[in-house]
Amino acid sequence: MPSDVVNPASPDRTGVGHVARDQPILVYGRAGVVGAAVVPGMTQAGFSPMSNLDGGLFRWANEGHPLVNESGPATTVHPVAWSWGRLLKSRFHP
């Protein structure tokens, strides 16, 4: 898992230790569930302001917003599982 990702099931925040507690933070997951789960714990740990991308990356893509990955502009989002992939328009599937 990349160092800037927080797993809500195991909230080890050492990967974001370099982030100022008053730095605005936007969290997101593929469908919005993980992001929503992370916000309360991060707020309780003193990070504020915190926001969750409502609907997650799938909604972001489905609404036509730009996608970027570590290589630059992207055209796909990996849904991880078929069940979650149903929330993502087929043109964004790898």
Domain assignment of residue 3, yes or no: no
Q: Which of 27, 44, 33 lies closest to 9, judged by CA? A: 33
Domain assignment of residue 10, yes or no: no
Which domain does 82 fall in, by range?
Answer: 22-88
CA terminus-to-terminus distance, the chain:
21
Domain assignment of residue 66, yes or no: yes
- The pLDDT tens digits for 12-59 are 677 788 889 999 988 888 888 888 888 888 888 888 999 999 999 999
Q: How many domains does the chain have?
A: 1
Global pTM value: 0.75
69: β partners: 72
